[in-house]
Structure 1
Amino acid sequence: MSDQPDAGVHIVRAGDLSDQTPQTSGLKRFEAVSARRLGSQDLWMGLSVLPAGSRTGVHHHGRSETALYVLSGVGRWWIGDRLDTVAEAHPGDFVYIEPDVVHWEENASATEPVRMIVARTTQDAIVVNLDDHPYGPELTEGRYDHG
């Protein structure tokens, strides 16, 4: 099968993902389907990888709705005004993040990366990093009840 478009079908191989998309510290984002890459009009999709033992900086995605499907690993999202509410997702789980929701993510494992398929409702991969947020990972770390 050809990698070239044929009758409206495009194949993006795993090795052809682009890291030329906005990034947040601690997380690596890869673009697969977008206007820039394939001419998509409404859909943005990609892959996010949170390395073992890693955590992101505080950020949000502006007006974009974000949906994730966890392929492997266990991820945690810290949310809320004080980033003191935690949600945990496992392989096979879907995560929906509403527009403008401030959060940061951590990998629950020191040995396995978290790999997630990402879909967005905007063609711009909006990432607003909040490096000076007063309730960043260093303040919320350790408050998760592992039981």
Structure 2
Amino acid sequence: MNEDVGVVVVRANDLSDQTPQTAGLKRFEAVSARRLGSQDLWMGLSVLPAGGRTGVHHHGRSETALYILSGVGRWWIGDQLDTMQEAHPGDFVYIKPDVVHWEENASDTEPVRMIVARTTQDAIVVNLDDHPYGPVIR
């Protein structure tokens, strides 16, 4: 990568998993302050395995936008994490700052692959492992 020219191409095989993680989901960092010196943006790829679900978490002050590349994802939100939103390939998902949620893959055979963008240059992930309405992680 050559950051000096003003445009940087991050190759698919050059993503970093050295970013905050949540049980059940794998995050890969592409654009960040740490990697490229970005000032207001974090961007990467998240993969939720077939039949997978995440732990309960939120992203602090960061707004999060997702674009579903493949698979069908479900986001559980609400006071008791009992309200579900479902997204399919081609859909965009917006998560407001501090919204507590967990994610689930609707398929037992296909992973959910998502492009992720955040309004902070570092990935903010606050895991709530003791949340009373959290799912059982396989």
Within 5 Å, give how 1:1-147 maps onto structure 2: 7-137=5-135
Cα distance in 1 for partners of 2:121, 2:7 equals 19
The C-alpha deviation readout for 1:18-59, integer Å capped at 9, x for no partner, is: 000000000000000011111111111000000000000000
Secondary structure of the residue aligned to 2:98 is coil
Cα distance in 2 for partners of 1:90, 1:48 equals 15
| Residue segments in structure 2 that go unaligned for 5+ positions in a row | none
Secondary structure of the residue aligned to 2:13 is helix
TM-score calculated relative to the size of structure 1: 0.88
Q: Percent identity among equivalent residues? A: 91
| Residue segments in structure 1 that go unaligned for 5+ positions in a row | 1-5, 138-147
Cα distance in 2 for partners of 1:136, 1:43 equals 29
Paired residues in the alignment total 132
Q: How much has 1:127 moved relative to structure 2?
A: 0.5
Secondary structure of the residue aligned to 2:5 is coil
Cα distance in 1 for partners of 2:21, 2:47 equals 11
Cα distance in 1 for partners of 2:41, 2:100 equals 22
The C-alpha deviation readout for 1:83-126, integer Å capped at 9, x for no partner, is: 01000000000000000000000000000000000000011211
Cα distance in 1 for partners of 2:10, 2:129 equals 33
Displaced runs of 4 or more, over 3 A: none
Cα distance in 2 for partners of 1:34, 1:117 equals 14
Q: Tell me which structure has the larger Cα radius of gyration.
A: 1
Task: Indicate if the aligned counterparts of 2:34 and 2:122 stay in contact, CA closer than 8 A.
Answer: no
Q: How much has 1:7 moved relative to structure 2?
A: 2.8
The structure whose RCO (Cα within 8 Å, separation 6+) is larger is 2
Secondary structure of the residue aligned to 1:116 is strand
Cα distance in 1 for partners of 2:21, 2:5 equals 33
Secondary structure of the residue aligned to 1:15 is helix
